[in-house]
């Protein structure tokens, strides 16, 4: 059972990529069917091209990133990156999912639904802001000095109770 984890990752990646491509194909085909039949002329194909292209590029990037590579004999050469990883990969999936929602909303409600896509840069700004403020909070204590009025710890109290103030070391200034 050599490379069992790599083989299971390759199988998961292949299944998820297949599912993603199928859903994307169905949603975009439905949009075009609605655009050319039910809402002929009322849906902007320019807005579709501008706003759906990033998600399609992300989808193909994730495909290249996570598609397993096999040798000629069928053995696994590279499993690909984990599509369930947190961080940037997770954000890329959010963009793809939100684009799908926006495409469906535009097909149903018309061109005004494309404004929903503004949630992507707004969310990115929120993530950057929270990361920056969190980083600022972590670095806030670096330059601070010890508080002189701080209550003594249990160990300090025990030491004082045993020997009084003789246990304390005082440095002359």
What pLDDT, in 10s, does the model give residues 20-51? Answer: 999 999 999 999 999 899 877 778 889 999 99
Say if 109 falls within a structural domain.
yes
What is the pTM assigned to this prediction? 0.69
Say if 75 falls within a structural domain.
yes
Q: Where are the beta strands (DSSP E) in the chain?
A: 69-70, 76-78
- List the domain range (segments joined by +) for residue 84: 4-130
Say if 166 falls within a structural domain.
no
What long-range pairs does 28-33 form, CB within 8 A, spacing at least 24?
28/52, 28/103, 30/104, 30/107, 31/103, 31/104, 31/106, 31/107
Q: Give the span between the Cα atoms of 151 and 116, in whole angstroms.
A: 54
Say if 51 falls within a structural domain.
yes
pLDDT interval class at 142 (50, 70, 90):
low
Q: Give the count of domains, the chain.
A: 1
pLDDT tens digits for range 64-79 = 999 999 999 988 889 8
Say if 13 falls within a structural domain.
yes
């Amino acid at each position: 059972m050599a490379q069992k984890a790599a083989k299971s990752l390759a199988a998961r990646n292949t299944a998820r990529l297949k599912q993603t491509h199928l859903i994307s194909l169905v949603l975009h085909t439905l949009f075009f069917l609605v655009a050319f039949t039910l809402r002929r002329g009322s849906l902007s194909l320019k807005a579709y091209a501008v706003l759906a292209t990033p998600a399609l590029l992300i989808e193909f990037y994730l495909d290249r990133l996570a598609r397993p590579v096999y040798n000629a004999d069928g053995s696994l050469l590279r499993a690909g990156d984990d599509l369930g990883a947190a961080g940037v990969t997770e954000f890329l999936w959010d963009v793809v999912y939100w684009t799908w929602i926006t495409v469906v909303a535009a097909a149903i409600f018309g061109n005004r639904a494309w404004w929903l896509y503004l949630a992507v840069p707004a969310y990115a700004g929120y993530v950057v802001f929270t990361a920056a403020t969190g980083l600022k909070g972590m670095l806030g204590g670096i330059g601070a000095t010890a508080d002189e009025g701080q209550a003594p710890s249990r160990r300090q109290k025990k030491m004082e109770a045993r020997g009084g103030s003789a246990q304390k070391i005082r440095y002359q200034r």
